[in-house]
Amino acid sequence: MSKIKLADISTTAPKKLEKDKIKELTTQIRTELDELQNLLFAEHKHAILVVLQGMDASGKDGAIRSVMSTMNPEGVDVKAFKVPTQAELDHDFLWRVHQQVPSKGMIMVFNRSHYEDVLVQRVHKWVDDKTIQKRMSAINDFERLLTVHGNTTILKFYLHVSPEEQAIRLQERTSNPKKMWKYNKGDLVEAKLWKKYRKAYEDVFECCDEVPWIIVPADDNWYKEYVVAKTLRDTLLSLKMKYPALND
């Protein structure tokens, strides 16, 4: 079987890479991103949806802050999906998500996403497996809709941290005054469900493959930031965008 096994995938940067050189590269890519995002906005033809998933403390917020912050916020939006409201629960699970997809010219970053509906809800057994299968199928349909009819390129990142690194980071939230605001008792409970989450993620990688997943070793922040920035840069370059000529 070709199924992805997270346990077999490294959570750290490749040993041969030098941290300083990679950080320099990332700085350079950030400058390129600033220009490319301006071009995306000006051309007004493509949309970019970045989906960030990962366990608590896997560095989603950090990736956003580091990679997206050099671009013009007029063309970059971030949506964090929290516990659904009553009005959201009164609709299909993709209703609130569809409203937030990027329009042409925009980059939208989902900090967590529709994937929570096939992850947290599954791990806690709030919905049965048959419903999860149907949701996964609906997610594939949804991503195809955005890709084919919305001219949207979707980048789905899984930030891959080890349980050990996660434990260190969660611990830091109880001692570092600048991080205490992120502390949430519930995170420790979720951390104990690590194996179940890993299994749920592996199923997601296999079943929700309308758009491929990018698994990012995330124990080393400098490497994670590099991979996310580089992937976004390469994607924007591949669109072969052009500034529109003078509009008569």
Q: Which residues bind a second copy (CB under 8 A)?
A: 44, 47, 87, 90-95, 98-99, 101, 103-105, 134-135, 138, 141-142, 144-146, 148-150, 152
- Cα→Cα distances 163→26, 137, 169, 195, Å: 26, 30, 10, 10
Shortest CB 75 distance to a second copy, Å:
13
Supply the minimum distance, in Å, between the C-beta of residue 64 and a second copy: 23
Sign of the Cα torsion 64, 66, 68, 73 reads positive
Measured from the CB atom, the residue of 70 and 147 that comes closer to a second copy is 147
Residue 167 or 239 with smaller CB distance to a second copy: 239
Complex with a second copy: residue 57 or 97, whichever CB lies closer: 97
Name which of 24 and 74 has its Cβ closer to a second copy: 74
What is the CA angle 79-109-69, rounded to 5?
105
- Please give the Cα distance from 58 to 108 (Å, whole number): 20
Minimum CB distance to a second copy, residue 93 (Å): 6
Q: For residue 154, what are the CA distances in angstroms to 41, 53, 105?
A: 17, 13, 14
- DSSP three-state, residue 48: strand
Minimal distance in Å, beta carbon 196 to a second copy? 23
Measured distance CA(236)–CA(113) in Å, rounded: 22
User: Residue 131 Cβ, how far from a second copy at the closest point, in Å?
Assistant: 8
Q: Which is nearer to a second copy, 87 or 246 (CB)?
A: 87
